[in-house]
Every structure is written in C-alpha cells, then in structure tokens.
Amino acid sequence: MLSRFFTRLAISLAMVLIAVGSGPGWSLAHVSGSITSIDPKAHQIALDNGKTYALQTDVNLANLAVGDRVTLNAEYKGKQQIIIKVTKTG
C-alpha cells in the first residue's frame, strides 16, 4: 500500500517537473562578431558570421558602424529569435 502511494507520488512529481521544465519556452543567447552591414530601414544588422539579424524596434542603431565588434543579446520564443540588445565590445 505504501509503495503504491510513493509510485503515484513519483509519477505526479515527474509530470510536474516536465511541465515546469518546458515552461514558457524562453531562452537567452549571445552572438558576437563584427558588423558587416547595417540596414536602418529594415532595422537589421549583418555580422561577419554571414548572418543577418532583425533587431527589436527599440534597439538604437545610431551609435553603430560597419566594423564595430558587438555582442547581440537575443531571446528565443520557440524558433523565433528576437535581438533585444546590441553592445559594443571593442
């Protein structure tokens, strides 16, 4: 009887941990590199890794220039990437 209780408790706990672990799906990422192009109209920058990144509309592009070393802080919601901050690194 007692082992049956602990089995049910373990299964319930496992289900809770899986649900909490999947959470809202947000994760953070950082990408560093040198800026190769800036498109202010599209609010995008390209880095020397060959990728172009769409920036959140409140990210300020005025202080950035081609050749600047930067770190992009991104949030992921599922597969959608959102660049929330650009920081000069050198």
Q: Per-domain residue ranges for the chain?
A: 26-88
| pLDDT bucket at 23, cuts 50 / 70 / 90 | very low
> pLDDT tens digits, residue range 36-77?
999 999 999 999 999 999 999 999 999 999 999 999 998 887
Residues 6+ apart with CB under 8 A from 36: 46, 47, 48, 66
How far is 27 from 74, CA to CA, in rounded Å?
A: 8
pLDDT higher than threshold 50 for residue 8? yes
- Reported pTM: 0.66
CATH 2.40.50.320 for the 26-88 domain, yes or no: yes
Residues 6+ apart with CB under 8 A from 24: 77
Residues 6+ apart with CB under 8 A from 15: none
How far is 11 from 33, CA to CA, in rounded Å?
A: 46
Average pLDDT over the chain reads 81
As a residue count, the chain comes to 90
Residue ranges of alpha helices (H) inside 1-90 are: 2-22
- The per-residue pLDDT for 22 is 47
